[in-house]
Structure 1
Amino acid sequence: MRICIVGGGTAGWMAANLFAHHWTDKPIEIVLVESPEVGIVGVGEGSTPTLKRFFEMLGIAESDWMSRCNATYKVNIKFAGWSPQSGIDDYSHPFISQLDTFSQGAFFMNCRTRRLGLATHTSPADFLLNGVLAQQNKGPITPDHFPFRMEYGYHFDSYLLGDFLKEHGKKLGVIHKQAFISGIEKQLNGDIKHLLCADGERISAELFIDCSGFSSLLMQQQLGVKFKSYHNNLFNDAAVVMPSTISSAIPVETTATALSNGWCWKIPLTNRFGNGYVYSSDFINSEQAETELRQHLNMMENEHNCRHLKMKVGCLETHWQNNCVGLGLAQGFIEPLEATALHLVQICIEMFIDDFSAGNFTQQFQAQYNQKVTERFERVRDYIVAHYKINTRNDSEYWRANRNNPHLSESLIQLLEVWYRREDLEQEIKRQNLESHFGTVSWHCLLAGYGAFPPIADKQPGTGDLYVDQKIKSFLHGCSLNFSAHQHNLERL
């Protein structure tokens, strides 16, 4: 069998590497074809902990790739300015580690009693070890005697990561070809038979993977798969990006700061900060967005060049059509608020490997795969939508429109109703089987972080704050003594 991947970049080379790794014992040839003129947008990018598992599967040590990609560790996302009316300047969504099982129950209970009017402590970062590490700017690398598994992500240059994965994939036997694809030739059943190249070459395969970016060359252009836009749910459709000078102490977290008509990411690499203003062109134009980004970063007009990007938010109606599978931007994109882009790519590759193998390398489980992937995209979309729906900003029509947006899924409506009715959110998440998407801890981080609580009751019992009663602060501080400064973690690479 021959598998042909169309398009490189991180998505294409992640697929090539995982296919080559998982099917080493199968007579499968993997070919990756990319245009010699299409480059990767080398913005600073952040990941979820799934990327750590990706490198562990491939047996690639952090010392092998992180310095090559200007990468740093990431334990947390800090959200600044999203809920000013609640009195909360910023909140954190730490990555969840094994040790958090000792403190997350107290976090859930405190959130529940706070919804009943009790004055309990509900700051997410204070209940979760990675949140404490971020406050101390400590890295997540543990000494050998530390008995708990830490989860963390990375910040990296996406262009350099794609280049590294290309090099590694070729070592695994992936064939790399450069060609301009002008069209395809189909079989009678609608499957793709050949790729037609501009130089006259025909590239045949039994399975094709479309990683051609927003153009979706095979899935949308050639196979006619329709794209389902999420514009009614998520307004942002553009971004302006630019670098800035890295600080002497490199942060171990991404910062997402709300601006007038969107938000700005700040991603620390070893050599620079990557910054980007994600906004809606329905509310602000590109020149205004660039001016606002420069003001936010205290940048002069001629200091550093900006790049303007358009985003197509949504996903394919069918992710595996005939003998072709869409991945990456060719498959769909949800704005980068929670660093889900590569997470979805990796999860989809892994699910496809499982279903394709279980079906003896046929389309037997195609419908099952399509249903699972659509569910993934929609549940990730819901979590991102919630950031906008419950915002308490009132400085622009953009934020008011997001707060008043009626286009919510039934799943999201039920989650918010359970929270505001003071019922058990953990049970509702289990009922909806959402733990494999954004789970109970993540939803509590978001809702408690925004201060989505009723006023504090006049009469207080003076007891019942489990953060105090269970001495969570002392416990996590003691745990944090096992960790060293983020800079030391980077230097050991």
Structure 2
Amino acid sequence: MIKKIVILGGGTAGWMAANILAKRWAKYSVEIALVESSDIGIIGVGEGSTPQLKSFFDYMEIAEAEWMPACNATYKTGIRFCNWSTKPGFENYFHPFPAQPDDYSAPAFFYNCFVRRKGADVYAHPDKFFLATYLAKHQLGPKPAHHFPFQLGYGYHFDSSLVGLFLKQHAAKLGVAHIDARITEVKLDAQGYISHLLTENQQPLAADLFIDCSGFAGVLIQQALKVPFINFSSNLFNDSAVVMPTSAAMDITPQTTATALNAGWMWNIPLVNRIGNGYVYSSNYLSADMAETELRQKLNLLDKDVPVRHLKMKVGRLQHHWAKNCLAVGLSQGFIEPLEATALHLVQETVLGFAEAIELGDFTDREQANFNRSINQRFEAVRDYIVCHYRVNSRTDTQYWRDNANNNSLSDSLRELLQVWVGGGNLTQEIERQKIGCYYPSASWHCLLAGYGLFPTQDQLLPGNEVAHKYKMENIENFISRCALNFSSHREQLNDLVAKQQVM
């Protein structure tokens, strides 16, 4: 039985792990301590999430009105991609989070994608088929009126530093101890397991389980236990970022915007108090100064003294995430660039998956291999989806985009998905065959590939017959617009959270 856990490193990953395990293993009286040095900063730029983050706060029984206003958080119904494609009519598209009403409209989208790939001139751009897309376009929040009995998946935008602080305070209520100290040495026992950590004051911190949340350094898992790191640079070129905030917008759109630039892409994330901006790029194609200049130009801040932060990214994953008596969580276990905001999702899946695996193994390492295999499969699936964004781009204006489009360092899974799409096959069946729909469902893959306009050229398309025009777009648009009547403005929903917080 695990009686004591030491977590090295705070930030959102460390405090999320502390909260999950403190709640899940409260009945076992497990002692949990998190050690971090106030002298060491955190990266703290991840400001977006997938819908899975809501399940974390639901699991922790933390209401949105309790945490969102405290973290300047807003809602997110999906991601708009701009200028990744040069195909006429497909320069922009929206990747929506799922909603129950999509069960009515998504089949029409899948069908139109299928027959357009066969040569029929039908409408197959994803933006008119999904409720979440409509909400973002019209700045409506994702919380429906009580009389609309259908669920909508949504994520959040937030200040990651404030989320870390909030979770730190919540963990304290659950009995998690906080130790402000710098670790100077990691001691192993004769079997190669971690026996204890030594602080700069020679204080030993012993535990049954150590969780490495020390960031890219991987102090425990990589430096002490020597677990190999698998680099993803062969098909994910970006390794750097420059970050710059700007003033808050009057109208807060519930979407992340990812705009393609010369050697990467720029994010725009609206918070209550500011807009988060950043340029993710490859240092092999662009210097840090050039990246900062390009970002300032895009934000019209070239001549203004706005502070920036320059960051380096270590993109890849560990060979094993659970080794000996150590679990790696967050940046220490790996990182896939932030295009789809998957960082906290991977943290959540790792911690919960570990808890389930070790419980299934009666608190032994019996399920260790299965757990590591599962997390690696998730990392690979996320990587494939993000690599696809670069591989299918049609830009030719810079060497960066040309090299991405010509990059054949693809997994067998991604290669087979693209072959099915281009060959006019059934993409949903291929996703089911590969058993990867639990990572990204068919709708996500259809939105990506159709959103880039990967269809026969306009001069190759034929008008089609009644079979091709099975679905009438006016009926789809009418259905979605009427569903949206049940949603209030995003700003109004954020104001409601503040009002609820004040009476809690």
Instruction: Give TM-score, length-normalised by structure 2.
Output: 0.96
Q: In 2 relative to 1, CA 54–361 (structure 1 residues): closer, same or farther, beyond 3 Å?
A: same
Q: 2:82 aligned with 1:80, yes or no?
A: yes
* Partner amino acid, structure 2, of 1:57: Y
Tell me the CA shift for residue 125 of structure 1: 2.5
Tell me the CA shift for residue 347 of structure 1: 1.1
CA contact (8 A) 1:42 1:160 kept: no
State the match for 2:463 in structure 1: 460
Tell me the CA shift for residue 417 of structure 1: 0.3
Aligned pair partner of 1:490 in 478, 487, 494: 494
Structure 1 runs not aligned, ≥5 long? none
**What secondary structure is seen at the aligned counterpart in 2 of 1:98?**
coil
Give the Cα separation in 2 of the matches to 1:93 and 1:179: 43
Which moved further from structure 2: 461-470 or 228-237?
Answer: 461-470
Superposition RMSD in Å: 1.2
**What secondary structure is seen at the aligned counterpart in 1 of 2:277?**
strand
Q: How do 1:182-261 and structure 2 match up within 5 A?
A: 182-261=184-263
Q: 2:466 aligned with 1:475, yes or no?
A: no
Which moved further from structure 2: 366-375 or 175-184?
Answer: 175-184
Q: 2:11 aligned with 1:9, yes or no?
A: yes
Tell me the CA shift for residue 80 of structure 1: 0.2
Q: In 2 relative to 1, CA 466–48 (structure 1 residues): closer, same or farther, beyond 3 Å?
A: farther
Q: How do 1:116-135 and structure 2 match up within 5 A?
A: 116-135=118-137
State the match for 1:158 in structure 2: 160
Tell me the CA shift for residue 38 of structure 1: 1.6
**What secondary structure is seen at the aligned counterpart in 2 of 1:194?**
strand
Q: 2:300 aligned with 1:298, yes or no?
A: yes
Q: 2:401 aligned with 1:393, yes or no?
A: no
Once the two structures are superposed, residues 30-74 of structure 1 have per-residue CA deviations (whole angstroms, 9 ceiling, x without a partner) of 111111212223436100000011001111011101111110000
Aligned pair partner of 1:335 in 329, 337, 341: 337
Give the Cα separation in 1 of the matches to 2:402 and 2:105: 35
* Partner amino acid, structure 1, of 2:353: M
State the match for 2:63 in structure 1: 61
* Partner amino acid, structure 2, of 1:308: H
Q: 2:428 aligned with 1:426, yes or no?
A: yes
CA contact (8 A) 2:121 2:464 kept: no
CA contact (8 A) 1:12 1:32 kept: yes
Give the Cα separation in 1 of the matches to 2:246 and 2:353: 38
Once the two structures are superposed, residues 171-213 of structure 1 have per-residue CA deviations (whole angstroms, 9 ceiling, x without a partner) of 0111111111111221221111111111011011001100000
Which moved further from structure 2: 462-471 or 49-58?
Answer: 462-471
Tell me the CA shift for residue 167 of structure 1: 0.3
Tell me the CA shift for residue 455 of structure 1: 2.2
Which moved further from structure 2: 328-337 or 187-196?
Answer: 187-196
Which moved further from structure 2: 332-341 or 85-94?
Answer: 85-94
Q: In 2 relative to 1, CA 142–469 (structure 1 residues): closer, same or farther, beyond 3 Å?
A: closer
Give the Cα separation in 2 of the matches to 1:261 and 1:240: 12
Give the Cα separation in 1 of the matches to 2:357 and 2:133: 36
* Partner amino acid, structure 2, of 1:282: N
Q: How do 1:336-415 and structure 2 match up within 5 A?
A: 336-415=338-417
* Partner amino acid, structure 2, of 1:102: Y
Q: In 2 relative to 1, CA 307–78 (structure 1 residues): closer, same or farther, beyond 3 Å?
A: same
CA contact (8 A) 2:212 2:220 kept: yes
Tell me the CA shift for residue 110 of structure 1: 0.8
State the match for 2:266 in structure 1: 264
Instruction: Give TM-score, length-normalised by structure 1.
Output: 0.98
Give the Cα separation in 2 of the matches to 1:98 and 1:4: 41
Give the Cα separation in 2 of the matches to 1:85 and 1:127: 20
CA contact (8 A) 1:44 1:275 kept: no
Tell me the CA shift for residue 123 of structure 1: 2.1
Which moved further from structure 2: 179-188 or 385-394?
Answer: 179-188
Tell me the CA shift for residue 465 of structure 1: 3.2
Give the percent of matched residue pairs that are identical in Structure 1 and Structure 2.
Answer: 52
Q: In 2 relative to 1, CA 421–458 (structure 1 residues): closer, same or farther, beyond 3 Å?
A: closer
Tell me how many residue pairs correspond in the alignment. Answer: 493
Aligned pair partner of 2:289 in 258, 278, 287: 287
* Partner amino acid, structure 2, of 1:293: L
* Partner amino acid, structure 2, of 1:92: F
CA contact (8 A) 1:183 1:197 kept: yes
Give the Cα separation in 2 of the matches to 1:125 and 1:351: 34
Tell me the CA shift for residue 27 of structure 1: 2.6
State the match for 1:28 in structure 2: 30
Give the Cα separation in 1 of the matches to 2:349 and 2:209: 19
Give the Cα separation in 2 of the matches to 1:254 and 1:287: 25
Give the Cα separation in 2 of the matches to 1:76 and 1:467: 25
Which moved further from structure 2: 97-106 or 453-462?
Answer: 453-462
Give the Cα separation in 1 of the matches to 2:429 and 2:258: 29
Q: In 2 relative to 1, CA 376–308 (structure 1 residues): closer, same or farther, beyond 3 Å?
A: same
Give the Cα separation in 2 of the matches to 1:449 and 1:89: 8
Give the Cα separation in 2 of the matches to 1:367 and 1:478: 49
Tell me the CA shift for residue 379 of structure 1: 0.8
* Partner amino acid, structure 2, of 1:491: N
Once the two structures are superposed, residues 417-470 of structure 1 have per-residue CA deviations (whole angstroms, 9 ceiling, x without a partner) of 000010000000000000111110100010000000112445423533355168
**What secondary structure is seen at the aligned counterpart in 2 of 1:45?**
coil
CA contact (8 A) 1:44 1:273 kept: no
**What secondary structure is seen at the aligned counterpart in 2 of 1:309?**
strand
Once the two structures are superposed, residues 287-334 of structure 1 have per-residue CA deviations (whole angstroms, 9 ceiling, x without a partner) of 000000000111133331111000000011111110001110000000
State the match for 1:274 in structure 2: 276
**What secondary structure is seen at the aligned counterpart in 2 of 1:85?**
coil
CA contact (8 A) 2:49 2:344 kept: yes
**What secondary structure is seen at the aligned counterpart in 1 of 2:141?**
coil
Give the Cα separation in 2 of the matches to 1:358 and 1:3: 19
**What secondary structure is seen at the aligned counterpart in 2 of 1:68?**
helix
State the match for 2:502 in structure 1: none
State the match for 2:500 in structure 1: none
Q: In 2 relative to 1, CA 212–489 (structure 1 residues): closer, same or farther, beyond 3 Å?
A: same
State the match for 1:168 in structure 2: 170
CA contact (8 A) 1:467 1:473 kept: no
Tell me the CA shift for residue 86 of structure 1: 4.2
CA contact (8 A) 1:44 1:274 kept: no
Give the Cα separation in 1 of the matches to 2:46 and 2:344: 13
* Partner amino acid, structure 2, of 1:263: W
